[in-house]
Structure 1
Amino acid sequence: MNIKLFREKFFKAITSIMQLMLAWLVILLILRIFEVLYNGITRTFPESMLKLIALSVWFDIMFWLKVVVCITVVYIVLYFIKPTLARVTGLIALFLLSISQLLLITYFNTSLVPLGADLFGYSLADIQQTLGASSALNIVTIISLILMLVVFGFVLIFLSRRIKVKLSFVLIISIIAFLALLTNVQQYSSMIDLRNEYDQNLSLNKADYFLTSSVNYFLPASRETDIYADAYIEQYEGNESLGDAFVYPSEAAFPFYHTNEAPDVLSPFFKPIQSPPNIVILMVEGLGRAFTNEGAYLGNFTPYLDSLAGESLYWKNFLSIGGRTFGVLPAMMGSMPFSKNGILEMGAQMPDHLSLYSLLSYNGYRTSFYYGGDSKFDNMAIFLKKNGVNAVEDLKTIPSNYRKLPAKANGFTWGYADDQVYKHYLGNHPMGSPTLSVILTVATHDPFLVPNQDRYKKQFEQRMSLLGFDDSKKMNYRNFANQYSSVLYADESIRDFINAYKKRPDYANTIFLITGDHRMAEIPLRNKIDRFHVPLIIFSPLLKRTAQFESISTHFDITPSLLRLLKKSSKLNLPTGAGWMGGGLDTARSFRNIHSYPLMQTKTAMVDFIQGDYHLNGNQLFKLNVDLEETPIQDEKKLKQLNNAFDNFKRKNDKISNGGKLLPDSIIKRYQLR
């Protein structure tokens, strides 16, 4: 082929693909309008529509330019082979991208967080169960999807042929696309500030987010190591206002093993404990601080927990360490690091460890775990077996005469209703020897279907009136009626459980802990930290005084502090060293944070770190206030400090991912029951 013919065919190829790409840009615009209206009508409209539109257009155009580059290269090659082959391939690729974008928009409408590489952190069985639970697919959604597919086909096949483009325009767009890809202009999106996390997530191009996070997951960028990082960290941790640093006697072999003991901060709040107390831990699915207890910024929809908090030790600025349920058991019971995808994902390869379960078992406690769903989900069953839990009651063992949660149209239900799990626990749990019981609920999870839902929806309406909502605010909240009614149901179920437990002879010697596994995202999030913001309530007739704390603590801190309390009161036999991530609960009543901890929103997204009153998310630094509102700040010194501390954790965490040990074998053999 001579140069003239080559140039002629080349220009025809890029003109042809640009016709398709401009038609696809129309589809992206249609999808964006659909997404904003769909979420606005069924969820809530953004606080700043103009800013959202500007940022959305920016993200969509950036994604479009990326696709222009990727498809154009392939299209030209195929065009030289056969023009028809190139066009058919281009049509199929853009049609599939359109479908993917539509499905990801639908997913976001249900979860209110975009789907990223966290998809790859779950087993096929877990994905199937989650899809079965999803409330996204209904007859209206399916009809909408079909109509949108027809629109995609019409625009790509027919409209693209009617688009006339000049060669000069094609060349200019191609150059812009390549330059945009090379210079990463997408970073300038931060110039448009959307403070609301829901608005920020809504503005993202969902296909771009999924593909980018997937590439970063499978091809992660290498981290640059700062050789002075440890010095910065020690200087920070040595500050008296931030608590004592851990002492690691064998950090190379056991990166998390330290000899420090958590301070005994709980004993001053308790009467003298004469015999080992029962411990009952309620891990409530999705229980976020945003709608729980006094001062909740969305309004208090847990009247019983609010009243209970006044009779308890209550942490209003408490944090889960995971944005989904996978993180709660290993963090709360074992104060364990994450490994690569959450330590439970290691399954049978999970490193040997000690936990509240195993150490209390060693000291004569009978242990149990109650869950309305399938304990195999997230490999919880493997963790429980590894910790020698005496009784595991779940979907497969709870008797069928107990009532399950209402099923969806497809027949799916997560399992047994919260009140039924509590009822089974009360009828099945022995008295006598001291017990450690963990109950993980499931009703406040998508699809948020609970028994007698109409009754709780009436309570929801009454609650909104009691909170003084005007008609406009009520209208907006009704888009989340199932979510709020499930929260009211969960609150009432806890009330009935505690009242029933009070009738037991062992109630007087029982300590209750109530917290959320994470904040449900299906009600719009306020900011980055909101997903982790949950309450912690420690309630017991053994308390001699109550208190409310504004200091920050996390699930990592619970086991170290409980063991310290029990060691003093019940003379527990415990090891002198531990592998805990947590340094113990902070009982300062004023706002502060003495901890430095990583947070992991999904199984593939460990991008959050807290230290002092700062929160690092990706490479963005936020300052936290007493209500856990956060403000983005520019402070290069502080940003470097947190990045160095976070990198130090990641290096240690990588060792565990690669088969490293948490504790010396001698400690494991002595204290872990088999």
Structure 2
Amino acid sequence: MMIKDPYNFDEENLLVKKTKRAILQFAHVSLAFFILILLLRLVEVGVMVKSYQSPENWFQVSIYAFLLDFLLFLKISFFLFIIYLVAVQMVVGDRRTQTYIYAGVTSFTVVVALLLTKYFYTTLLPLGDDIYGYSFSEISQTALAGASVDVFSILFFLTLLGLLWILVIYFSKLVFIPFKAAVGFILASFLAILSGISFLPESKRFKSEFDYNLAVNKTGFFFQKSYDYFTRNEPEVDIYAENYIEDAVQGSNLEGINSFKYVDAKYPFLRENDAKDVLGNFFDKFDGPPNIIYIQVEGLGRAFSGEGAYLGSFTPFLDSLAQKSLYFENFLAAQGRTFASLPSVLGSLPFAEHGFADLGNKMPHHLNLINILKANNYHTRFLSGFDLAFDNEGLYLQKSNIDETVSISNFGSGYKQMPSNSGGFTWGYGDMDLMLKSALYLNKVPSKPGLTIIQTVSMHTPYQVLNQPQYVEKFEKQLNALRLSDDKKEDYRKYKSIYSTILYSDDAVRAFINNYSKNPAYNNTIFIISGDHRLPEIPIATKIDRYHVPLLIYSPKLKRTARIKSISSHLDITPSILAFLNVNYNLKVPKLVNFIGSGLDTVRSFRSVHKYPLMQTKNELNDFVYGKFFLNQNTLYAIDDRMGLEPVENEQKKIQLLNELKQYKTINNNVSKGNKLLPDSLYLKFSKF
């Protein structure tokens, strides 16, 4: 007696028979894929908790993780079913061949999921649409920086794929799912697509940014961000309407927020330069226009620097220098990565589509600290230890008419690059070598006043520096100084390579200041120190934490110090420096500017008189600060005096901020299309070639 094949339906129509068979087969083999998704999630959570920390709310993270994983399974399954159905209908071969096709396609999906999980493990940030803002060479460079290849990782990778194939083949031989249930599964996957349910839950529902990032499905996050990136269509605001300039002024003059006097709709960012000198009263008189030295420390965040840092401070030198400085403790970077840092600090510039410098040779003429000071007989220079092709920094400096640049290509002999990671990659010269090089270099520069920009790189993945064991010892001493419990110390030791690098970079700044203090120009110098953004590899607490950096303004001629709680940002630095030099040293500054920021607020008590956008990644311009309110995506928060966030239910205020951001985006998009920022006559007046 012959046993009937359960997949051989009693249908005369061959197409119908094959379709029914495909539905039933697919439901069974899909179980293997679902098991792999859950297994990958268990491994991810286990590794993250062991390597970093536990979520603040296990139950919430677990529920969201399962639901988002299941949502991914349903949505992907619909597309997998189409492929499987085509294979059953058209591919010559038996059920085994069709099973192998399914295993091959899902293997590709698992490989993508593994890579995205690996990225998250390295950076503590899920990868989103920011990948589309970088060139292939920049992506390769960043990937190599975080790459770590070991036998265990390769074996785990192969084991997971092998397990997938074994499970797919095993389930393909079983029949225990009723046909109606299989149809219901296909229908559910189709409805999941139609539902439009997002892979991105509301972040305000989570206790911390780490909990949110751990809960989201990394593949779903990437797909959702990619979909949003390629389908978004920003509403337009008519910037050429007759009442645009008037509305822009009146609409911003609310609740003490600084307003601008825009002058020409053809140049929508062009406005009167009305920045006040808020720095002059803090300084004794310099012997002529002072030297300006700006030190940008990669990854330096307030979370681990300065008094009141919620992770405890690991920058003892900067802490001591802060006591002798104007110290802005509630200061914001304008960007969440390095891509916009120089244009923001030096030019208070709009972001364009992927950062101002990403415009490349299409960068419109603009005024910034470099070309304005150069027009006032300053010598301008930039020093770093890495490749200036990254983020187009070299081109931005070139278009700013800078006099000299030092980078990895001309750093000179006698210095040693940072250790390579397991993939053989190094960013270049470490912060200590850079600072010693800079101090020596400044002994030989022209006698006229100078603007010096020093940009570090060590506080970046892979966090490997020369003499690291020495700084690991300092890290252990700092743990004792913070009086942490033994359990808490163990949590901190999970990040010892990062904390030891922070201590190293802090020591490098100390070495520069100490060496430069022997230079006769020291007493005629103002030092400005800030971070380009807060590094993400130590878990981030809130959405604004990524931007929260310190700002120190120090000089031997500083006659009084101040600890300032009012909010300002990178976009405010250049307007205030120029106002100070204009009022006190008669430097010529433009009456019209293209600056986004209005100038530093030096009020000591907590307040915010600013409004500006913040751009987290090259493709993510969804954050806006308006006074003490912070908009992230579609969620409104109130900012407290320690830069903490509290969700606010105020629909009117949220709509106001959404409109402010929309208006900025529209004008910003015009910059991306090549529109000018200012008249050529104004640019040529302050551009000295």
Give the shorter-chain TM-score range: over 0.9
Residue equivalent to 2:5: none
User: Mean alpha-carbon deviation: is it higher for 567-576 or for 533-542?
Assistant: 567-576
Residue equivalent to 1:142: 154
User: Mean alpha-carbon deviation: is it higher for 627-636 or for 88-97?
Assistant: 88-97
The structure 1 residue matched to 2:84, chosen from 75, 81, 104, is 75
Residue equivalent to 1:184: 196
Q: Distance in 1 between matches of 2:207 and 2:92?
A: 48
The structure 2 residue matched to 1:447, chosen from 462, 466, 491, is 462
CA shift for structure 1 position 180:
2.7
Percent identity, please: 38
The structure 2 residue matched to 1:45, chosen from 54, 70, 74, is 54
Gap change, CA 1:639 and 1:492, over 3 Å in 2: same
CA shift for structure 1 position 215:
2.1
Residue equivalent to 1:286: 299
1:559-593 Cα distance to aligned partner (Å, 9 max, x none) = 00000001112211121100001111111212121
1:498-524 Cα distance to aligned partner (Å, 9 max, x none) = 111111111110000000010000110
Q: Distance in 1 between matches of 2:220 and 2:58?
A: 21
Are residues 1:114 and 2:126 paired?
A: yes
**Contact 2:148/2:423 (CA < 8 Å) preserved in 1?**
no
Residue equivalent to 1:171: 183
User: Mean alpha-carbon deviation: is it higher for 338-347 or for 73-82?
Assistant: 73-82
Are residues 1:202 and 2:214 paired?
A: yes
Residue equivalent to 2:333: 320
User: Mean alpha-carbon deviation: is it higher for 582-591 or for 73-82?
Assistant: 73-82
CA shift for structure 1 position 635:
1.6
User: Mean alpha-carbon deviation: is it higher for 454-463 or for 118-127?
Assistant: 118-127
CA shift for structure 1 position 333:
0.5
**Contact 1:79/1:86 (CA < 8 Å) preserved in 2?**
yes
Q: Distance in 1 between matches of 2:630 and 2:537?
A: 23
1:106-132 Cα distance to aligned partner (Å, 9 max, x none) = 110010001112112111221222122
**Contact 2:293/2:452 (CA < 8 Å) preserved in 1?**
yes
Opposite residue 418 of structure 1, the aligned amino acid is D
Opposite residue 437 of structure 1, the aligned amino acid is T
Residue equivalent to 1:157: 169
CA shift for structure 1 position 141:
2.6
**Contact 2:279/2:576 (CA < 8 Å) preserved in 1?**
yes
CA shift for structure 1 position 401:
1.3
**Contact 1:550/1:588 (CA < 8 Å) preserved in 2?**
yes
CA shift for structure 1 position 166:
1.2
1:204-252 Cα distance to aligned partner (Å, 9 max, x none) = 1111111221222223244376999999865552125222x1111112x
**Contact 1:370/1:394 (CA < 8 Å) preserved in 2?**
yes
CA shift for structure 1 position 273:
3.1
Gap change, CA 1:192 and 1:383, over 3 Å in 2: closer
Q: Distance in 2 between matches of 1:287 and 1:259?
A: 33
**Contact 2:297/2:457 (CA < 8 Å) preserved in 1?**
yes
**Contact 2:199/2:216 (CA < 8 Å) preserved in 1?**
no
**Contact 1:273/1:569 (CA < 8 Å) preserved in 2?**
no
CA shift for structure 1 position 83:
7.0
Q: Distance in 1 between matches of 2:11 and 2:460?
A: 65
**Contact 1:51/1:192 (CA < 8 Å) preserved in 2?**
no
Opposite residue 606 of structure 2, the aligned amino acid is F
Opposite residue 373 of structure 1, the aligned amino acid is F
**Contact 1:527/1:629 (CA < 8 Å) preserved in 2?**
yes
Q: Distance in 1 between matches of 2:12 and 2:233?
A: 41
2:515 is paired with a residue of what secondary structure? helix
Q: Distance in 2 between matches of 1:369 and 1:620?
A: 39
Q: Distance in 1 between matches of 2:251 and 2:628?
A: 13
Gap change, CA 1:159 and 1:462, over 3 Å in 2: farther
Q: Distance in 1 between matches of 2:150 and 2:546?
A: 27
CA shift for structure 1 position 267:
1.1
User: Mean alpha-carbon deviation: is it higher for 368-377 or for 124-133?
Assistant: 124-133
- Note the 1:218-617 alignment, pairs <5 A: 218-223=230-235, 236-239=251-254, 241-243=256-258, 245-251=259-265, 253-429=266-442, 430-617=445-632
**Contact 2:234/2:662 (CA < 8 Å) preserved in 1?**
no
**Contact 1:233/1:641 (CA < 8 Å) preserved in 2?**
no
Q: Distance in 2 between matches of 1:410 and 1:9?
A: 49
1:379-417 Cα distance to aligned partner (Å, 9 max, x none) = 101011111111100101011311211222333211112
TM-score by length of 2: 0.94
Q: Distance in 1 between matches of 2:168 and 2:446?
A: 69
**Contact 1:135/1:446 (CA < 8 Å) preserved in 2?**
no
Gap change, CA 1:68 and 1:478, over 3 Å in 2: same
**Contact 2:245/2:262 (CA < 8 Å) preserved in 1?**
no
